[in-house]
Structure 1
Amino acid sequence: MQQKFLRTAVVLGLLSAIGPFAVDMYLPALPTIGQDLRASTNAVQMSLLVFFVSMGLGQIVVGPISDMVGRRAPLLVGLGLFIIGSIGSALAPTVESLIAFRFLQGFGACAGMVVPRAIVRDLHTGNDAARLMSLLMLVFSVSPILAPLTGSVIIESFGWRAVFWAVTIAAVVAAVMLMTALQETRPAEHRVGSSFASALSGYRFLLGDRNFLGLTFIGGFGISSFFVYLASSSFILIDHYGLSPWLYSVFFSINAVAFIGMSQLTGMLADRFGLKRVVRVAVVGYAATMVVLLAVMSTGVEQLAVMASLLFVGYGFLGLVIPTTSVLAMEEHGAIAGTASALMGTLHFATGALAMAVAGLFFDGTPLPMVTGIAACAVIAFALTQLTLGRRRAVAEMPAE
């Protein structure tokens, strides 16, 4: 049983990691792409932004389809689109064509984001779901550690276009694993009554569910703080602090290590304290750390070691927030797990894209605008946690937990 649990986590984690892998390997190349394609910083950042937008919006469609036709078929089609987008990006002659193929690539990657969450809900609820989600996050989070390092080696050895050939190969491997190691988790009898009409009804219901929306946006603003970091970090660390692409990758990976390590404590802490209490405490630690970082940077202290240390602690707390809020948000929506996962993912990515766009408006090559955006997202997540899972509400709901 445990072996099957781990195998499922590995397959779902790899499917979920394909999209982020295409981002994280790509980050060290952003300044080089701008020079090679003679494009502005904003244009190069747009190739990152459209990927997130299409990956977010696509989930609205793919989630309900996975409720109607099952989980495997949408994953296979998504991987096919991702491969086409990756090949097009590798061959792009201009930044405009790169942006277009990145949009297609993101749309293909969306299935790997939305469907695995629905599969977790198909198989488990409660603390078991939290354990599977944290294991999935373990595999998924290997991407921010290995991908930038791998990407920097590929870029220095073969150029930035080779990154897209590498993710094409990864997508082919993921497709083989999907076909050979993952069974359908939504049988035909569970699909009866699932349609686009029922999906629209489900979306209306979920948009009226304050608990679902609150938990979704807590996780969404947590993810948004990382998106702000993604969009600006390579320019700041490489151009402002003078790091090489390889050293940038190491710096980037350190935060992923904190996120992964803490996420693996989710199951144990949930068993002892309950999922809601874990969220409340983790968000407090996350927000407090990021506010301290902003306060320090605002005084003119720009030492890289200070920023690295506080980001490490803050993103460690965030590693407890993301899996727990996802499980809690979907807990009561098993019958429309694909639709719920789709709306959650779309809201996450829409929030992240908006945060990236706003932070980009203030980008000046220094760390302060980036840190301000990160801290703002953390404070909003804290406020939403108080509204959604405040102590009074938590006491009232204690028997249910």
Structure 2
Amino acid sequence: MTLFRAALVLGLLSAVGPFAIDLYLPAMPQLAASLGIDEAGAQLTLTAYFVTFGLAQLFYGPWSDQSGRKMPLYAGLTLFIIGSVGCAMAPDIGWLLAARALQGVGAAVLMVVPRAIIRDMHTGTQATKLMAMVMLVISVSPMLAPLVGTALVQLGDWRLLFWALSGVAVLSLVLTGTALPETLARADRQPINLRSLWAGSKVLLSDPAFMGLTLIGGFGMASFFVFIANASFVYQGQFGLTSTGFSLAFAINALGFFGASQVAGPLGARVGIVRLMGFGVFGFAGFTVALMLLAMSGAASLYVIVGMLFCANACLGVVIPTSMVVALDAHGRIAGLASSLGGTLQMLTGGVMIAITSLFVDGTALPMVVAIAMCGVAALVLALLTLRRISLDPATPPAIS
């Protein structure tokens, strides 16, 4: 399987989970009005998705280590389809939350298994290049999904978005069956039992480099989740953008991340993956703290927010792919478990940050940018404690010292 084909297939599969978030962001105010709930209630639909999305990864990783990578994909996508249909038919917020939770359970497989497949195929700089190419394919979600969502809402209402997600998942099932080979040889499969799961989890949880790298990426992703949960209300409420205007502003923020992710591989080969990650974390923290100070002083206009988040997300574009790759490099034998545990920790970090932010939402940008800055500071502290443990030699894969 060529690098390009692998990136295309894995990217399209990986994009389904983010697509389930980004597609309906422009419709969140409409959804809230339709179901008679407030802004915090609408954000619960994201929290329900993120929590189950995170927890279910604990299951898919070990399962994929035992059965191979494809069977869990079939099961997860089937659950995602059922959850999407349930969302489309939801008569009230309780039903919608339950269906969104089921969606998250299904989508979790698309976070775990593609990362494990990348580790099956490559390590080090080559894996970073493949991860960056996958990120490029995933970029269709934050750039186009809100615009597609806006168009679909104009044709129907927010329920049509979930019918569309059902169709996307069906196409993903076909893609899995026809274009994705099995990458885990039978000789390398690990049986599932509580003893082996505990032993593997103990190794991962006691590895300060794995935990530090995972949480660096986790706080980076948490900043995205905080933005996702609040942006539609801030951009359309405080700044008066239309749903189309919001979609374009959202795409600009995403463009910084995915544009920068494409240079992560070449830059990592030149200056060292770990050193590059350090530069990225420092920039992310600097831009987000600066934005927070501007917001506190009343100087955070729409253009300032979009511009500063573009720069912060560009820094994250070289942090998140590299942190994922380096965290898995030393744990190839349990790549599925490592991917699932890392993904769970990252998603739970994001869910906690959304929950904290929801306590302070007031329809303005300040709570959002303060929470994003908190993520930046946390990632920087973790980087200062973690990256010194890892080899900085750009000519070799990172080694844990």
TM-score (norm 2): 0.97
3-state secondary structure, aligned to 2:363: coil
After superposition, where does 1:27-38 map in structure 2 within 5 Å?
A: 27-38=25-36
Query: How far apart are 1:195 and its partner, in Å?
Result: 3.7
1:67 aligns with 2:65: yes
Specify the alignment match of 2:354 in structure 1: 356
Matched, 1:245 2:247: no
1:22 to 17, 20, 23: 20
Q: Which residue of 2 aligns with 1:381?
A: 379
**Following the alignment from structure 2 to structure 1, what is the Cα–Cα distance between the partners of residues 226 and 247?**
17
Residue deviations 1:313-357, cap 9 Å, x none? 110111110000000000010100000000010000000000010
In structure 2, the partner of 1:77 is 75
Partner Cα separation in structure 1 for residue 207 and residue 394 of structure 2: 16
The one-letter amino acid paired with 1:6 is F
CA-to-aligned-CA distance 1:60-91 (integer Å, 9 cap, x gap): 01110000111000001000000000001001
- Distance (whole Å) between structure 2 residues aligned to residue 48 and residue 382 of structure 1: 26
Q: Deviation string for 1:272-316 (max 9, x for gaps)?
A: 011000100111111101111111111111311111110111101
Separation in structure 2 between the aligned mates of residue 199 and residue 242 of structure 1, nearest angstrom: 50
Q: Which residues in structure 2 correspond to 1:219-234 (within 5 Å)?
A: 219-234=217-232
CA distance in 2, matches of 1:388, 1:90: 44
The corresponding residue for 2:309 is 311
Residue of structure 2 aligned with 1:98, choices 83, 89, 96: 96
Contact 1:64 1:195 in 2 (8 A): no
Helix, strand or coil at the partner of 1:47? helix
Kept after mapping to 2: 8 A contact 1:64/1:196: no
Distance, in Å, in 2 between the alignment partners of 1:295 and 1:121 is: 40
Q: Structure 1: which 4+ aligned runs deviate by more than 4 Å?
A: 392-401
- Aligned partner letter, 1:349: M
1:169 partner letter: G
C-alpha separation in 2, matches of 1:235 and 1:312: 19
Q: For residues 145-185 of structure 1, what are the alpha-carbon distances to aligned partners after superposition, in whole Å with 9 as ceiling and x for unaligned?
A: 01011011111221111100111111111111110011111
1:204 Cα deviation (Å)? Answer: 1.1
- Structure 1 residues 189 and 154, CA, compared in 2 at 3 Å: closer, same or farther? same
Q: Which residue is equivalent to 1:300?
A: 298
Contact 1:118–1:338, Cα closer than 8 Å, also in 2: yes
For 2:208 and 2:50, locate their aligned partners in 1 and report how far apart those are by CA, in whole Å. 25
Provide the rounded CA distance (Å) in 2 between the counterparts of 1:400 and 1:371.
35
Contact 2:77–2:173 under 8 Å retained in 1:
yes
Q: Aligned partners of 1:195 and 1:266: how far apart in 2? A: 37
Structure 1 residue 217 corresponds to structure 2 residue 215: yes
Contact persistence 1:68–1:195 (CA under 8 A) = no
8 Å Cα contact 1:202-1:339 kept in structure 2: yes
- What SS does the aligned partner of 1:320 have? coil
1:329 alignment counterpart: 327
CA distance in structure 1 between the aligned counterparts of 2:246 and 2:397, rounded to whole angstroms: 46
**Preserved CA contact (<8 Å) 2:65 2:190:** no
User: 5+ unaligned residues in a row in structure 2: which ranges?
Assistant: none
2:175 pairs with 174, 177, 185, which one?
Answer: 177
> Aligned equivalents of 1:398 and 1:157: distance in 2?
53
1:62 to 1:364, Cα distance in 2 relative to 1, 3 A: same
Q: Is the Cα contact below 8 Å between 2:274 and 2:392 reproduced in 1?
A: no
Change (3 A) 1:152 1:95: same
- In angstroms, what is the RMSD of aligned CA positions? 1.5
Query: Is 1:118 aligned to residue 116 of structure 2?
Result: yes
Name the TM-score, length of structure 1 as normaliser: 0.97
Between stretches 80-89 and 132-141, larger displacement belongs to 132-141
Task: Return the alpha-carbon distance in structure 2 between the equivalents of residues 23 and 337 of structure 1.
Answer: 26
Q: Tell me the matched-pair count.
A: 398
Q: 1:75 to 1:126 in 2, by over 3 A?
A: same
After the TM superposition, which residues 268-283 of structure 1 pair with which residues of structure 2 at under 5 Å, given as runs? 268-283=266-281
Quote the Cα distance in structure 2 between the aligned partners of 1:388 and 1:376.
Answer: 18
2:226 counterpart letter in structure 1: V
CA distance in 1 between counterparts of 2:40 and 2:390 reads: 44
Which of 248, 254, 257 does residue 256 from structure 1 map onto? 254
The counterpart of 2:166, out of the listed 165, 168, 188, is: 168
Contact kept in structure 1, 2:40 and 2:361, CA below 8 Å: no
Query: 1:397, CA displacement in angstroms?
Result: 11
